[in-house]
Amino acid sequence: MFVLSCYGITEIREEYFPQSTRPELVVRLTLQPQASIKNMEEVASRFSHAIEGNDNIDYFSYTTGMGMPRFILTFDTADDKPGIAEFIFVAKDLAARNALEKDIRTLVAKDFPEVLLLAKPLAVGESAEYPVMLRVVGPKHEIVREIALHLENKMREHPNIINTFKKSGEQAIAMSVNVDPLKARQLGINAESLSNNIHYGMDGKVITSYQEGMNQIPVYLRTRISGKSNYLDDLETLPITLDSGAVVPLSQVADYKYVNEDSNIFRRNRMHAMLVCSEVTGNVSGDDVAYEVYESLEDYRASLPPGYDIEYAGTLADSETSQDDYMEPFPIMVIIILVCLMLQLQNITKTCITLLTAPLGIIGVTIGLYLMDKPYGFVVLLGILALGGIIIRNSVILIDQIEKQLALGESVYDALINAAISRLRPIMLTAMATVFAMIPLASNALLGPMAVAIGGGLVVATVLTLLVLPAMYATVYLKK
C-alpha cells in the first residue's frame, strides 16, 4: 500500500500555487511586434464595446501600450510596448468569471483573429505569465530559433494546449540603411548625424517634456519640409541636414531596404534564449502539461548540439527552485531529529522503528488528495513535512508507554497490547483535534491542499501507527 501511494502521488496533478477564487479576470491582447499604439487603441476600443454588454461583468477597465497598475502583490503587470492592451474584468461571482472567460475566448476567435489572447484569473501565490512555458537556450541565435520552432510545433500537437507562440524572437519589418562611406565623407556627414536625421524625419526625438498637473507630456522634434510630416512613402526624399546647413535627400548618401529582424532578443546566463508559451484547456494544470511536453522531447533533447538545451520556465521552474532551496537543509533536519530521538529513546533500534513510521502518512495524503481533487504543490510538501513530525511524536508516545508496561514486569506481547490500548484514546483524540482543525481550511484556495494532506495523512497514519509500530517492535524484540 505504501509503494502504491508513493506512485499514486506522482500521478496527482501538480500546481505550484492554485488560482485565486477572486472575481477578477486578467485579459491581455497583443498585436504583432510592429503594431503601433494607434492600432492597439482601435482594437481595444472595438473589443471593449463588443464585451461591455456581457451579463457576467460587474465592471472593467483597461490600458493600452502599458500594463495595468499592480493592485495586488501576486499580479504581474504586462510589459510596456505599443501593441499591447490589458483588461481587468471584475465578474459578479466565481461562476460568472469562468463563463466570462469562455465568452471572451469565443469573441476573440470570431471577431479578432489578429490578436494574441491571454486570459487568466489571478494567482494566490507566485505566478508566471503563461501556464506552460519552456525555454530554449544556446550560443547561436539561428539554431536556438530552429529548436524553438520545433518545440512550438510539438506543443501544438498536445490536446490540452491552445495559443502557442514564441514570446521572444518575433519577426518584425525594419528599415536597413546602408551608408555610402565615400559620399558621406564628401558631404561631411557621419553615421551618428545621419541616424539623428532619420529619427527626426521618421518618428521625431524627445527633446524635453511639458508638465501638466501630475502628467509629463513629451515634446518631440520632427522634421517638416514642404508640408510633409511622414516620409515612410517616399524615403528617398527624406531631408538630411549637413553640418554646413545645406540639406540633401537621403538617396544622395545612403540606400535603404526593408528587412525582417527580431523585435527583441533575450539572453539568459549570457546565452541566447527563446521562450515558447501556451495556455491550457480542460481540468489540467499547466505544470503537468509542461512536464508531459518536456518528457515527450527526451530523444530530441538528447540529439541537440552541445551547448543547446530545452529547460523548464515559468511556475514549474520556480517550483523546482523553491523545493531545492527548501530541501537543502533537509539533511541537517534529519540529523537533529535523530539526535533528539536518541536522547529520548537511548536505543538505536527503537529510533529506527520510530523513524520508519513517519512515511506512513504518504498513504493518507495520496488518498485525501485524490478524494478531494486537490493538486500537489508547494503547500502540500510543507504539510507532508509537518505530518512526519506529528507521526514521530505519536510513535515516541507509544514506545514510551511500551517501556512503562515492560517496567511493570509484563511480557513483550502483553506490553504491546496494553500499551496500544492505553494510548489509543489520547493519540486518537489529539489526532482528531488536528484533523477537525484542518476542516475550515480545506476550502481555502491556498491552504486547502495542505489541510487535506495533513488531515488525510494523519487519519490513516494514526491508525497504522497503532498497528504497524507494535508489529515492528514485536518482530525485533519477541525473537530476543
3-state SS class at 222:
coil
Q: What is the pLDDT of residue 231?
A: 52
Q: What is the pLDDT of residue 269?
A: 85
**Tens digit of each residue's pLDDT (9 = 90 or more) over 351-361:** 888 888 888 88
Confidence of residue 46 (pLDDT cuts 50, 70, 90): very high
| Residues across the chain | 480
**How far, CA to CA in Å, does 178 sit from each of 142, 205, 256?**
23, 21, 6
> Percent of the chain, pLDDT > 90?
11
Q: What is the pLDDT of residue 226?
A: 53
Rounded CA separation 176/258 (Å): 6
Rounded CA separation 12/15 (Å): 10
Asked whether the domain spanning 129-164+270-312 has the same topology as the one spanning 20-122, the reply is yes
- CATH no., domain 2-10+324-477: 1.20.1640.10
3-state SS class at 169:
coil
Amino acid code (one letter) for 82: P
Estimate to the nearest angstrom the gap between the alpha carbon of 471 and the chain centroid.
Answer: 45
Rounded CA separation 19/291 (Å): 19
Helices (H), 210-302: 286-296, 298-302
Confidence of residue 136 (pLDDT cuts 50, 70, 90): very high
Q: Which CATH class is domain 20-122?
A: alpha beta
Residue 280: closest CA among 124, 118, 150: 118
- Residues 6+ positions from 200 with CB-CB distance below 8 Å: 221, 222, 223
Average pLDDT over residues 363-370: 87
Give phi and psi for 465, each to the nearest 5.
-60, -40
**Tens digit of each residue's pLDDT (9 = 90 or more) over 50-71:** 998 889 999 999 999 888 888 8
Q: What is the pLDDT of residue 480?
A: 59
Asked if the model's pLDDT at residue 98 lies above 80, the reply is yes
Asked if the model's pLDDT at residue 45 lies above 90, the reply is yes
Q: What is the pLDDT of residue 233?
A: 56
Q: What is the pLDDT of residue 47?
A: 93
CATH of 172-262, one of 2.60.40.1120, 3.30.2090.10, 3.30.420.40, 3.60.10.10: 3.30.2090.10
Give me the residue spans of the domains in the chain: 2-10+324-477, 20-122, 129-164+270-312, 172-262
Q: What is the pLDDT of residue 266?
A: 82
CATH of 129-164+270-312, one of 3.30.70.1320, 3.30.530.20, 3.40.50.620, 3.40.640.10: 3.30.70.1320
**Tens digit of each residue's pLDDT (9 = 90 or more) over 443-477:** 877 788 888 989 888 888 888 888 888 888 888 88
Q: What is the pLDDT of residue 127?
A: 72
**Tens digit of each residue's pLDDT (9 = 90 or more) over 289-344:** 888 899 899 899 989 999 999 998 887 787 777 777 777 888 888 888 888 888 88
Mean pLDDT lowest for which of 182-186, 330-334, 438-442, 476-480?
Answer: 476-480
Estimate to the nearest angstrom the gap between the alpha carbon of 270 and the chain centroid.
Answer: 22
Strand (E) or helix (H) holding 11: none
Q: What is the pLDDT of residue 411?
A: 86
Give phi and psi for 364, each to the nearest 5.
-70, -35
Q: What is the pLDDT of residue 42?
A: 92
Strand (E) or helix (H) holding 238: none
Average pLDDT of the residues of the chain: 83
Confidence of residue 234 (pLDDT cuts 50, 70, 90): low
Confidence of residue 48 (pLDDT cuts 50, 70, 90): very high
Q: What is the pLDDT of residue 358?
A: 84
Please give the grid coordinates belonging to residue 420: 496500544
Q: What is the pLDDT of residue 251?
A: 76
120: Cα within 13 Å, side-chain hemisphere = 25
Rounded CA separation 86/66 (Å): 7
Rounded CA separation 73/308 (Å): 35
3-state helix, strand, coil in the chain (%, to 5): 50, 20, 30
Please give the grid coordinates belonging to residue 220: 518631440
Asked if the model's pLDDT at residue 203 lies above 80, the reply is no
Asked if the model's pLDDT at residue 229 lies above 60, the reply is no
Asked if the model's pLDDT at residue 197 lies above 90, the reply is no
Average pLDDT over residues 245-268: 78
